[in-house]
Amino acid sequence: MKIVVHDTASATADLLRRPLEERPELLREMYAPLQTMLGLMGGADVVQQHQNMGSGFRVDRDDARYLPAIRTMQDADVWSHVRDWLQKAWEHLDAAVPGVKHAETVHVVLLLGNPDDDHLIQRSAGYFGFGGIPGSIMLTMWPTDAALRNIGFAAVHELHHNVRYANVVWNPMTVTLGEQIVAEGLAEAFVRELAGEDAMGPWAGALDGEQLEHAYATITAAIDTTGMQNLPGYVLGDATARRMGLPTAGLPDFAGYGVGLRIADAHSAASGLTAAESVALPAREVLGNAGVATIITSD
């Protein structure tokens, strides 16, 4: 696997010095390496997606905080850390599952976030990613302390997804809640496997005690729910589902991550398989090992 981490630091700094009318097109150029991912957006405008659902920096106004934020990220060597951790993650996966299917080249685009976006800053501690389309990983961050420390580990999480969905069929119309929960749990367990407990994202430990028990009961009871439009409330929680204009499930932020990690750990305890070794396993098998019954699956 060839991993290409694009130099969005220089591109963003250049964009921020240009007139406002030139910035949307320059942003589109930054997204260009993610063509495989963008092709699944159904013609949605990438600039609007970036600024609204993507929590990205604004290109329709000046903001004196943006250039210093990019410099902070450059000083912290963020792009190199992302590249180094992705390389370690791939080597670990490749050794765990020799011959596992994967994209020949994975393009990684790291984008500056919006410091005024609650989903990014309050819920996600300043960083998150998307890597479910083989060949593309998108990371968004604002340089909070947590983001500067953990953005490389978020990339590791997304690489696990990237390899998983080169092996497991993902169809937005038929994907089950079980698949989404398993994917998030295994990806976060993989981060811990590679870099330790402290490397995991804030979403992994967002719930405990009674909240986690309630989320586990709610999610496992709905485990066969199908259709991507019906899943964010369970996986990401009600606040994010409302932001996306999708159904809620009566659950707090990132409920599905803690439940997914619990399922991944139960699967590993029962099977003896690590998160890396489980990257291509059908959700049905992982859930079965964890003692979660299913009726239908997407694999």
pLDDT at 43: 60
* Cβ-contact 297, 117 below 8 angstroms: no
Characterize the bridge pairing of strands 2-5 and 127-130. Answer: unpaired
pLDDT at 233: 96
Locate the domains of the chain by residue range.
Answer: 1-167, 172-299
Instruction: Record the pTM.
Output: 0.95
pLDDT at 220: 97
pLDDT tens digit sequence for 46-102 = 998 898 778 999 999 999 999 999 999 999 999 999 999 999 999 999 999 999 999
pLDDT at 209: 93
pLDDT at 53: 78
Mean pLDDT (whole number) for 29-48: 81
* Mean of the per-residue pLDDT values of the chain: 94
pLDDT at 37: 77
Q: State yes or no: pLDDT of 245 exceeds 70.
A: yes
Mean pLDDT (whole number) for 273-290: 98
pLDDT at 41: 57
pLDDT tens digit sequence for 168-181 = 999 989 999 999 99
Q: Which of the four pLDDT bands, split at 50, 70 and 90, describes residue 42? A: low
Q: Which of the four pLDDT bands, split at 50, 70 and 90, describes residue 40? A: low
DSSP letters, 210-246, are: HHHHHHHHHHHHTTT-B-GGGSHHHHT-HHHHHHHT-
Q: What are phi and psi of 111, to 5 degrees?
A: -115, 145
- The residues, any chain, with a CB within 8 Å of residue 155's CB and separated by 6 or more, are 82, 85, 86, 89, 108, 129, 131, 137, 139
